[in-house]
Structure 1
Amino acid sequence: MELKLNRETVPAAEVIFDGVQEQSVELDYILPDYCPDIFRLIRCDTSPVITEWSVSGDRLTYELRCDIHILYCGEDGSEVQSVDQHRSFTKTVELGRSPVSPQVRLTPKTDHVNFRAVNKRRLDLRGAVSVKISVTGQQEQQVVSDAEGMNIQLKRRNVEFAASRLSAEKNVRIEEEMELSAAQPDISGILRCSCTAAECEVKLISGKLLAKGEADVELLYRGGGNVETMSFSLGYSQIIDVEGLDDSFGCTVTAEVVSCDISPAADGNRTVRCEAELRLCCRAVKTASVMIAEDAFSTVYPCTVELSDIRAEQIPAVYDESFRHSARLAEGDAVPQTVYSMWSEAKNINTRIGDDGRSVVISGMLTYSMAAKDRSGMIVMPDRDEAFEETIALPDNISGSSVSAEVRVRETSYDISAEGVLTAKADIGVKLSVYSSDSVKAVTDITVDDSARKERDGDYSIKLYFGIENEDVWDIAKRYSTSVDAIIEENDLAGERLEKGGMLLIPIVS
């Protein structure tokens, strides 16, 4: 009987490009006539953001915008002034080949910024930002799922993978006016605005995706001779068209902040006008499972097995975790006279599976920032970098060989003790995606030489073998050219691994 092979097509994730692209940022700015002279520089923030991207053939093109926000004091030393500028860049990446169903991930970050006052009317900034670029595509790979004839034996396993994936993006603009409370002083200037998007609520309705969520806005403004804070949330509800989407797909929507502009409303200084733009990124995946052959042999004939690493796009186990980080920022005379606000940001995140295989190690940097008044009455906004490393235990039912994490600071608080020590605390949320393996070994072809039979070292129908605890019965069967089922039945075993060591009877089949 000739050998018959059944094959399955498995779509595999293919890395097209994985790298980093850098961009220098420069600013030579002369203050307009209505701005006071520069007396003291306070702070500079440079925030890079990707506004749009596209893939055409073997080329990725994206738009990078850097938002520059500089704060300084005039000669009176009390009023904080701000300078806001934007720099835009069109960047291209040669991918080397055209991806099929490309998935693009662009992560910008600020590398370094140096700024100075050339004179009382002129600012100079030199810095650099970088964008981490990941582009994956799909390729189809043929694997052996079953075989019949020529006394072939197969070791098979079930593999779940992403059989189909869809993606779509939609930009959403939110415009709202928010009034100050009665206890808050009038607004005389905006010092800082931070906008973060929370997780979306996702619902499938008639083949369309409904995404609902909120963006949280933190505002720092000048008012009544002091620095004041204000916070509010912007809600949205959007329909996203995703061609081919149905209820067999699992969907996630991630909200990214493209811009957030705050200004006093035209009708007075008791109301602020907020204009925010969010990008809703939808990812939909249909999962499937297939039995694939991991190994093969014939009990009678010599055979050759071709194995390949199949990088099937696997569905990760996703769950949420949290931890708290604290840092001692100042003590004694170094503690500010007044702390108006404190915030923090997680940067340079690295993740790995722990040495025990049952935990995830997350490390990175937390930058603590505050707006405060120092002992001399000056407004200051210092930063403090604190390294951290946190080990998070995996649930008993989850194990993996690789992991990725999205880390976000949920809340930052501070405390000044009776001993005069300023301590900051950050509540950090982590979304872990744990993958069972980077690739799967699979049989792609089997060749049997039926012109000769395997030679045995004797004429016998049964053989004795001393097995060890946790040994795979497949390895024993392959060594003696017999079947796994025959060994299990002859020795009344509970499964395909030995629960304990001991003597086994190995029946010889043909």
Structure 2
Amino acid sequence: MELKVFRDTLSTMASLCETKAELPIETEILIPDYLPQVFKIVKCFVYLVTLQKQITAGRLTVEGYLRCVVYYQAEEDQSLCQTEQKIPFTRAMDLPESNYQGYTAQVSGEVEYLNCRAVNQRRVDVRGAYALSALVTAQSDQEIITALADCGVEQKMLPVTGVKSVANLDKLMTAEEELTLPSQPQAILDISGVGQVEEIKMISGKAVIKGKIKVELTYRSQPGYRLEGAAKDVPFNQIIDLDGVPDDGVCFAEVEMVGCTMMATAGQEAGNTLTVTAILHLRVYRPVECYVVGDAFSTQYKADVTYKTVNAEQLQEQLDKTVEADVAGALPDENAEIIGCFVSLHPLEWGQAEGGLTLGGRASAHVLCMNSLGEIDCYDKAFEYSLPGVYPGTAEQYRFECWPGVTAVNTQKNGMDMTAQVNIRVRGLLFRRIKETIVDSVTCDEALEVGEPDVALRIYYAAAGENVFDIAKFYHVSPAAMMKLNHLEDLELGAGARLLVPMTV
């Protein structure tokens, strides 16, 4: 009699590798004639904007630009000014040999070091390095045994659940909205924004995504360092083709603002048009579930069973969490006047907590102050934050794809001390990777010897938590026969028991 083995393929996402590269920051920024001359460099920021990620011939190619923003104090009237420049890059990173079908590449990074100086009153030199990091995951097809038959084989079925990526899109989009201010700004210092997806609909192979981008504008309307603020919601509506996406797919979308311009509207006093550039991140996953043979033996033959480990990835949680972080510290100048605060976020990372892991990150508050000498300084205050929730296990069991953003910053001064409340919102996807040991192959060649024919039953004293299948495997008897003989309904024993073991099938 020949053992029948039924096989299938399980397709899941599995983490492959993390690769790093360094981007040089080398640029000269020329101050236009319509901006005041440089008296003092106050602060320089570098932001990463990723436009395209592609894997070909075993290499990940990342295209985008570094947005270099320089704040400086003007020579004539103490005005706070801003200028910026884009540094385009294309970086190829080698990957291990593998099948990168249905891959996901998460790209992030942070500044390693940065030097910014004024060469003269009209030229700023910026030198430094940016650490680029990419985590690549890909869809893998794993062969599994779904059933065995004949040769007196007994099998323990094991459910394997996970998710399969069916759509992974990053689309550049623009949206416009009118903004009216009390008076036209003399200088715009910062335009930041946080996206908010309000509705996702899957209709006839298309995804309809609606929402808004909450834009925060920091500007000054007069010479000097006094800053003003304005806020505006910029709505968006995107329709994306998703051919072949099943109706039971889990759909997630997030909008990441990467740039914004403001132009005066012709014929409207103090009227302006905001044009927002953002990246729409769309992820669609399909639940995957199948039963595989987790263990096997034969009641008639000596079975040679080999095992292997398969990986599956489950969607643990769709994250949408907000945390308020408190920042405090003494200012070097007790007579300094706080005029503004910017917050930069580093990539998210895992932290240890009682009972497991917390998701959070490092950040820096950059407090702009006018000191007692009439000069603008920037005081950097590093801090950490953790999102609510504790996750069991180790960091190697999880993968996240998240987009953090600052939704509010409030600063105040009390004597020489500065305090700030920073609201940080994190939206994204959290996955948990699981490993299951299953049967890889089974062969049945040599027949079992018949032992002790005069013994019809044995008594086995089982402990709580033991499995009837494992006991039956030890004695080469049918688990179903043991269940029937002992009037059991579940293979897993909830309490200790004395079991009768039939010696014949």
Query: Residue 188 of structure 1: which of 176, 186, 189 is its match?
Result: 186
User: Over residues 211-232 of structure 1, what are the superposed CA-to-partner deviations in whole Å (9 max), with x where a residue is unaligned?
Assistant: 1111121121122341111221
Determine the structure 2 residue equivalent to 1:220. 218
Aligned pair in 2 of structure 1 residues 55, 307: CA closer, same or farther (>3 Å)? Answer: same
The CA deviation at 1:419 is: 6.9
User: Over residues 361-386 of structure 1, what are the superposed CA-to-partner deviations in whole Å (9 max), with x where a residue is unaligned?
Assistant: 22421222334434445444432111
Between the aligned partners of 1:436 and 1:34, the Cα distance in structure 2 is 54
Determine the structure 2 residue equivalent to 1:349. 348
SS at match of 1:46: strand
Aligned pair in 2 of structure 1 residues 269, 440: CA closer, same or farther (>3 Å)? Answer: farther
Between the aligned partners of 1:489 and 1:345, the Cα distance in structure 2 is 65
SS at match of 2:346: strand
Equivalent residue letter for 1:351: W
Residue 383 of structure 1 pairs with residue 364 of structure 2: no
RMSD: 3.1
Determine the structure 1 residue equivalent to 2:152. 151
> Is the contact made by 2:358 and 2:391 (CA closer than 8 Å) also made in structure 1?
no
Between the aligned partners of 2:184 and 2:364, the Cα distance in structure 1 is 30
SS at match of 2:243: coil
Between the aligned partners of 1:319 and 1:176, the Cα distance in structure 2 is 29
The CA deviation at 1:210 is: 0.4
Determine the structure 1 residue equivalent to 2:200. 202
Between the aligned partners of 2:374 and 2:208, the Cα distance in structure 1 is 51
Between the aligned partners of 1:16 and 1:423, the Cα distance in structure 2 is 42
SS at match of 2:227: strand
Aligned pair in 2 of structure 1 residues 361, 393: CA closer, same or farther (>3 Å)? Answer: closer
User: What is the TM-score of this pair, normalised by structure 2?
Assistant: 0.87
Question: What pairs with 1:100-249 in structure 2 (closer than 5 Å)?
Answer: 100-162=101-163, 165-180=166-181, 182=182, 186-199=184-197, 201-224=199-222, 225=224, 226-249=226-249
> Is the contact made by 1:50 and 1:258 (CA closer than 8 Å) also made in structure 2?
no
The CA deviation at 1:409 is: 4.4
Between the aligned partners of 1:409 and 1:254, the Cα distance in structure 2 is 11
Determine the structure 2 residue equivalent to 1:414. 410
Determine the structure 2 residue equivalent to 1:251. 251
The CA deviation at 1:163 is: 5.0
SS at match of 2:348: strand
> Is the contact made by 2:331 and 2:379 (CA closer than 8 Å) also made in structure 1?
no
Determine the structure 2 residue equivalent to 1:370. 367
Equivalent residue letter for 2:326: S
Query: Residue 492 of structure 1: which of 484, 487, 497 is its match?
Result: 487
> Is the contact made by 2:24 and 2:128 (CA closer than 8 Å) also made in structure 1?
yes
Range that drifts further, 207-216 or 284-293: 284-293
Determine the structure 2 residue equivalent to 1:45. 45
Determine the structure 2 residue equivalent to 1:475. 470
The CA deviation at 1:87 is: 0.8
> Is the contact made by 2:324 and 2:422 (CA closer than 8 Å) also made in structure 1?
yes
> Is the contact made by 1:222 and 1:228 (CA closer than 8 Å) also made in structure 2?
yes
Aligned pair in 2 of structure 1 residues 446, 37: CA closer, same or farther (>3 Å)? Answer: same
Residue 9 of structure 1 pairs with residue 9 of structure 2: yes
Equivalent residue letter for 1:489: K
Which sections of structure 1, spanning at least 5 residues, go unmatched? Answer: none
Which sections of structure 2, spanning at least 5 residues, go unmatched? Answer: none
Equivalent residue letter for 2:349: N
Between the aligned partners of 1:391 and 1:333, the Cα distance in structure 2 is 36
The CA deviation at 1:443 is: 1.8
SS at match of 1:382: strand
User: Over residues 146-189 of structure 1, what are the superposed CA-to-partner deviations in whole Å (9 max), with x where a residue is unaligned?
Assistant: 11111212111222233561334432112333111x4xx54110
Between the aligned partners of 1:446 and 1:103, the Cα distance in structure 2 is 35
> Is the contact made by 1:8 and 1:145 (CA closer than 8 Å) also made in structure 2?
yes
Aligned pair in 2 of structure 1 residues 328, 56: CA closer, same or farther (>3 Å)? Answer: same
The CA deviation at 1:483 is: 3.2
Determine the structure 1 residue equivalent to 2:311. 311
Equivalent residue letter for 2:45: D
Range that drifts further, 266-275 or 18-27: 266-275
The CA deviation at 1:416 is: 4.1
> Is the contact made by 1:329 and 1:424 (CA closer than 8 Å) also made in structure 2?
no
The CA deviation at 1:79 is: 1.0
Between the aligned partners of 1:494 and 1:352, the Cα distance in structure 2 is 43
The CA deviation at 1:335 is: 7.2
Aligned pair in 2 of structure 1 residues 354, 383: CA closer, same or farther (>3 Å)? Answer: closer
SS at match of 1:489: helix
Aligned pair in 2 of structure 1 residues 390, 172: CA closer, same or farther (>3 Å)? Answer: closer
Between the aligned partners of 2:452 and 2:246, the Cα distance in structure 1 is 59
Aligned pair in 2 of structure 1 residues 336, 441: CA closer, same or farther (>3 Å)? Answer: farther
> Is the contact made by 1:200 and 1:255 (CA closer than 8 Å) also made in structure 2?
no
Determine the structure 2 residue equivalent to 1:70. 70
Between the aligned partners of 1:393 and 1:235, the Cα distance in structure 2 is 34
Determine the structure 2 residue equivalent to 1:88. 88
Equivalent residue letter for 1:444: D
Aligned pair in 2 of structure 1 residues 17, 34: CA closer, same or farther (>3 Å)? Answer: same
Q: How many residues align?
A: 499
Query: Residue 496 of structure 2: which of 482, 488, 501 is its match?
Result: 501
Determine the structure 1 residue equivalent to 2:424. 428
Range that drifts further, 149-158 or 328-337: 328-337
> Is the contact made by 1:117 and 1:124 (CA closer than 8 Å) also made in structure 2?
yes
User: What is the TM-score of this pair, normalised by structure 1?
Assistant: 0.87
Equivalent residue letter for 1:477: A
> Is the contact made by 1:30 and 1:123 (CA closer than 8 Å) also made in structure 2?
yes
Aligned pair in 2 of structure 1 residues 191, 446: CA closer, same or farther (>3 Å)? Answer: same
Query: Residue 462 of structure 1: which of 457, 476, 479 is its match?
Result: 457
Range that drifts further, 149-158 or 494-503: 494-503
Q: Percent identical across equivalent pairs? A: 25
Between the aligned partners of 2:452 and 2:335, the Cα distance in structure 1 is 84
The CA deviation at 1:128 is: 1.5
Residue 444 of structure 1 pairs with residue 440 of structure 2: yes
> Is the contact made by 1:477 and 1:483 (CA closer than 8 Å) also made in structure 2?
yes
Between the aligned partners of 2:387 and 2:121, the Cα distance in structure 1 is 46
Aligned pair in 2 of structure 1 residues 33, 326: CA closer, same or farther (>3 Å)? Answer: closer
